[in-house]
Structure 1
Amino acid sequence: MSRIVVLTGGVGGAKLVLGLMRVCRPKDITAIVNTGDDFRHMGLAVSPDIDTLLYTLAGKANAAQGWGREGESWSFMDVLKSLGGENWFLLGDGDLALHVLRSHLLANGETLSATTARFAAAWGLGLTMLPMSDDPVATHLTTDEGDLPFQRYFVQRRCAPAVQAIRFEGAARAVPAPGVIEAISDPETRAILIAPSNPWLSVDPVLAVPGIREALAAAKAPVVAVSPIVGGQAVKGPTAKLMGELGLAVTNQSIAAHYAGVIDGLLIDGRDDAADLLIPHDVTDTLMKTLEDRERVARAALALADRIAG
């Protein structure tokens, strides 16, 4: 069976990847993960989107809150707070172990690609997980409160500041991680999917790494995005708020225009208007609350890609 490639951010993207793993062989799936959210905290290398994917696919994610680990304990944070340490970014004890080991491996010369593959293999995930780059790329937002690194905006300020512009520091100097361009360009790749992650905050950092957008535009396989819009709103996170602040209508037409030149098709939710969409599209229920929902969306995205491929 041919390869499936998916570009993904965190929670929403992890749901789609899990759906793909239930309808395709994991070894045929390559997930290219946003690392623009990565940052150093308390001296530790934290990769939130990679970790969300690891926890979700390994069955370790906290399903209720959508981030972190199920059954987490907080002894580290309790002691940290008692000592007056920063407590705006929560590090559970199990989560902390992953960050400590990643930081140790990176400090000893291992790449982010290698550490990510190591963790995926340790938990028997079976798919190929690739960071978008082994080079540091940092998402920054220009807001009405000044310049904010992504995690300060997203976690500490809970997306409250109004956003005026977004930039990806280090992107121009970054190179795609080993395997990224090869997966996109592989003539045996059946479909390339863009998960319903935030296009501006989770997918644009990936596209900002030189070579990735160009590879997608030139790919033989159809590129299909799953829209993050459901019923005129974002399912989770600041997508709709951000679009309004950037002067964009919260519509699938805006999503299609944002991905112009990259995607060949768009999978949209049945609660939204498909009129005026000038690219191939299909309609399904894109809410992914259950495993069956995730399988349905994965099948629908692949079906659209297959239809485009003819």
Structure 2
Amino acid sequence: MTTISPHPSTPADTAPAGRVLALCGGVGGAKLALGLQSVVAPGQLTLAVNTGDDFEFLGLHISPDLDTVLYTLAGLNDTARGWGRADETWNFMATLRELGAEDWFSLGDRDLAVHLERTRRLRAGETLTDVMGDLARRTGVNARLLPMTDSPLRTVVHTPAGELPFQHYFVKHRCEPVVTGISFAGASQAVANPALRQALADPGLTAIVVCPSNPFLSIDPILSVRGLRAALQDSMAPIVVVSPLVGGQAVKGPTAKIMGELGLDVNSQGIAEHYAGLIDGMVIDTSDAADAAGLGIPVHVTRTLMRSTEDKCSLAREVLAFAASMRLPSRTEAPGASLCKEVR
């Protein structure tokens, strides 16, 4: 089944009622998450957010993807820069440089307060889920913001020169090293967030949306958590992925670069194959419409580039309407489905 939105700029009908779960990483995923928050009834949206990017810097627990989603949904994000908080100041970083301290990862003054408070509360014994839930409430976010796990799990990027912690690859080295593989330290011991497992088992769940985040660096860490992929496959809700590619290129970030370096097709087919055995349908951009016929799964073709708030809301409505239109097939483990555990 292939559906094409004839008027991509026109919002789809009102999103169907029911609870929705979305898997997302940082900037790209947060855009659709904002659209979903806008069209799903308050309290009915749960977001499972990647924590494989988390790391310790200057003694602080940093959660980049969680914070990006938090700031975006709270309307606090810097839309021009694409990350961090709006109206940010940088006195802390300027003083660090004066002192000759490590400064390759930028922390704004407003952002710093979140890292300090999170670190304090984690050391006092609270879980990351509890801390982020409270921060979401205090900033007016009406979606449920869940780390995929409260256990330590870290993305490791393999390069010809050796292994790199994710933030060293992504920020310190600006994604320049060739990627030969990706693994997730701690995944086999990590315990899935109980609230996420509960959401997946909820009979009122009407759709599971995989946001247009990097499949390898943002979504695979979520899927690598012990038992989560199986719980997704056991869910009775349709699973729809929104392709992160537009015209065969990534809107932002190294998705296309990594796909090429790992020898994968840099197109809709490559994305569909990566999620084989998990997803029931796929949403692709109008510029990739020619790919639809060969994907072997239901496809919805529309404009997926989200520049405005209306773009985000319109895409969210279309994704949910597409999910509601599906008959749920039986999911089977397919070749390539194990890529979420380790890509080599």
TM-score, with length taken from structure 1: 0.98
Q: Distance in 1 between matches of 2:112 and 2:212?
A: 28
Q: Distance in 1 between matches of 2:198 and 2:299?
A: 27
Q: CA deviation at 1:197?
A: 0.2
Q: Distance in 1 between matches of 2:197 and 2:275?
A: 18
1:115-194 equivalent positions in 2, closer than 5 A: 115-194=131-210
Q: Is the 8 A contact 2:37 2:142 kept in 1?
A: no
Does the residue aligned with 1:171 lie in a helix, a strand or coil?
coil
2:149 is aligned with what amino acid? S
Does the residue aligned with 1:173 lie in a helix, a strand or coil?
coil
Q: Percent identity over the alignment?
A: 54
2:319 is aligned with what amino acid? A
Matched, 1:107 2:120: no
Equivalence for 1:2: 18
**1:269-298 superposed Cα distances (whole Å, 9 cap, x missing partner):** 010121311011100000001001101111
Unaligned 5+ residue runs, structure 1? none
Q: Distance in 2 between matches of 1:44 and 1:126?
A: 27
Q: Distance in 1 between matches of 2:47 and 2:327?
A: 21
Matched, 1:62 2:62: no
Matched, 1:302 2:320: yes
Q: CA deviation at 1:129?
A: 0.6
Unaligned 5+ residue runs, structure 2? 1-16, 329-344
**1:57-99 superposed Cα distances (whole Å, 9 cap, x missing partner):** 1111010111001110111111110010111100100000000
Pairwise CA RMSD: 0.9
Question: Which of 47-56 and 270-279 deviates more?
Answer: 270-279
Equivalence for 1:232: 248
Q: Distance in 2 between matches of 1:212 and 1:53?
A: 21
1:15 is aligned with what amino acid? K
Q: CA deviation at 1:304?
A: 1.3
Q: Select which of 307, 314, 320 maps to 1:289.
A: 307
Matched, 1:199 2:215: yes
Q: Is the 8 A contact 2:245 2:268 kept in 1?
A: yes
Q: Is the 8 A contact 1:26 1:125 kept in 2?
A: no
Q: Distance in 1 between matches of 2:45 and 2:327?
A: 18
Q: Is the 8 A contact 1:76 1:91 kept in 2?
A: yes
Equivalence for 2:67: 51
2:231 is aligned with what amino acid? A
Matched, 1:88 2:104: yes
Equivalence for 1:275: 293
2:308 is aligned with what amino acid? T
Q: Is the 8 A contact 1:198 1:228 kept in 2?
A: yes
Q: Select which of 207, 210, 218 maps to 2:226.
A: 210
TM-score, with length taken from structure 2: 0.89
Task: Report how many residues are paired.
Answer: 310
1:92 is aligned with what amino acid? G
1:243-254 equivalent positions in 2, closer than 5 A: 243-254=259-270
Q: Distance in 2 between matches of 1:307 and 1:4?
A: 15
Does the residue aligned with 2:102 lie in a helix, a strand or coil?
coil
2:180 is aligned with what amino acid? Q
Does the residue aligned with 1:304 lie in a helix, a strand or coil?
helix
Q: Is the 8 A contact 1:9 1:198 kept in 2?
A: yes
Equivalence for 1:79: 95
Equivalence for 1:29: 45
Q: Distance in 1 between matches of 2:317 and 2:138?
A: 28
Equivalence for 2:334: none
Does the residue aligned with 2:252 lie in a helix, a strand or coil?
coil
Question: Which of 139-148 and 100-109 deviates more?
Answer: 139-148
Q: CA deviation at 1:237?
A: 0.1
Does the residue aligned with 2:180 lie in a helix, a strand or coil?
strand
